[in-house]
Amino acid sequence: MASFFRDARLPQQRVVEGVPFPAVLVPSARAGSCAGGVDKFLAAVRCERASRLEPLVRDAGALLLRGFPATTAADFDRAVDAFGYEELPIVGSVAPRTNVVGRVFTANDSPPDQKIPFHHEMAQTQVMSRLTLSECCCRINRRGCWSGGGKICLLRSRCAE
């Protein structure tokens, strides 16, 4: 059976030890125009999680899913659930966060004029998660720059290099 997902490349990707980072998946021809909406996407996540998605995360260190119909915080919460990972509650974070829906929180509610230093999402927790799921709801402008926010993704094992 053909995959719902297709490998893609982005200009911002880097090759780390022969593997593109992050791995990027977009809808395949089988996914069509994502007819069936978010439910079809979530079914594909459940179906291909162990065989396709988790190996990409393990090998590349990060996976970017792009162009899928999960467009709201509620959709993202359902996608997190579809991956089937145990929740690690946010406890003790000094960053002000708001619970949007379910397991979806804002990244940081600090006022826009306050600088946020470069940091690791799990830096202030006593229990480290195996992975972190993030969504960026900010659009990229014509020049490829984030307009109003964004998420930097890097391999923590290579941070000090």
Residue 118 has, within 13 A of its CA and on its CB side, a CA count of 5
- pTM here is 0.74
Which amino acid makes up residue 90?
I
Q: What is the number of other CB atoms lying within 10 angstroms of the CB of residue 160? A: 5
**DSSP run (H or E) holding 7:** strand 5-8
**Tens digit of each residue's pLDDT (9 = 90 or more) over 7-54:** 999 888 888 889 888 889 888 876 665 556 888 889 999 999 999 999
pLDDT for residue 3: 86
Rounded CA gap, 90 and 161, in Å? 29
